[in-house]
Amino acid sequence: MTQGKQEMPMARTRKSSDDDRLWRPLEAWPVKQRPAVWIWLQDAGSLSKKLRATAGPAFHVQVVHEGRTVLDAEDARLLQSATGAPALERRVYLCADTPWVYARTLALAESGQWLDRLGAHPLGDRVFANADAKRSVIEVAKLEPQHNLYQKALDGQGITPPELWARRSVLRVDSQQLLIYECFLPWMSP
């Protein structure tokens, strides 16, 4: 995948929801509202590779959860599937000396080979090794403490900042789709 290259957004065929207003394409965010971590949010390449280059040998993946789930309506829409469809879920922290990014990946059950047996290895290393990998348009959100993704990202971290910045996109590789949410934790620096 060429760094920075993105596909066109998927057509939306339903009414607007709270999630639609929360998650906006990069270009929809006015420059004055963009946080210090914007340089990380906008990069369409491998986040793992970029974090490794910044953190050096301290970079590692801390697995929080790997298992089965069912898709809620929003995730199903993004993966072009049905609400309640079986899926695989992987939640990890991408770390240096402390967790920098909380990542949640969802894949339909038939796309599970992309999440199988990763253990503490970054998904990005596996996906971006494939030259045909493509990322959908990156959407960004400013998450407040009541948002479920905010809560999961900070579970056990002992802090409650007023907001977290996050991005989401769908990675397409070998005709399979992976929905990835990445939350940038407060101690993440540009």
User: d(Cα 159, Cα 156) in Å, to the nearest integer?
Assistant: 8
User: d(Cα 114, Cα 116) in Å, to the nearest integer?
Assistant: 6
Tokens read off for 157: 């971290």
What are the extents of the domains in the chain? 18-184
Average pLDDT, the chain: 87
What pairs with residue 169 in β-bridges?
180
> Taking residues 8-16, what's their average pLDDT?
37
Lowest-confidence pick of 5-9, 73-77, 112-116, 131-135: 5-9
Burial class (CB in 10 A: 0-12, 13-18, 19+), 159: exposed
> Taking residues 81-107, what's their average pLDDT?
95
Q: Answer yes or no: are the C-beta atoms of 168 and 182 closer than 8 Å.
A: yes
Q: What is the DSSP string of 49-60?
A: HHHHHHHGGG-E
Given this model, what pLDDT does residue 174 score? 84
Confidence category of residue 119, pLDDT binned at 50, 70, 90: confident
Confidence category of residue 8, pLDDT binned at 50, 70, 90: very low
**Would the pLDDT of 6 be above 70?**
no
> Taking residues 36-48, what's their average pLDDT?
93
**Three-class secondary structure of residue 93 per DSSP:** strand
Given this model, what pLDDT does residue 19 score? 61
138-175 confidence digits (pLDDT tens): 999 999 999 999 999 999 888 899 999 999 999 998 88
**Would the pLDDT of 14 be above 80?**
no
What are the φ/ψ torsions at residue 109 (nearest 5 degrees)? -50, -40
Most confident of 11-25, 62-76, 111-125: 62-76
For domain 18-184, the CATH superfamily is Chorismate lyase-like (3.40.1410.10)
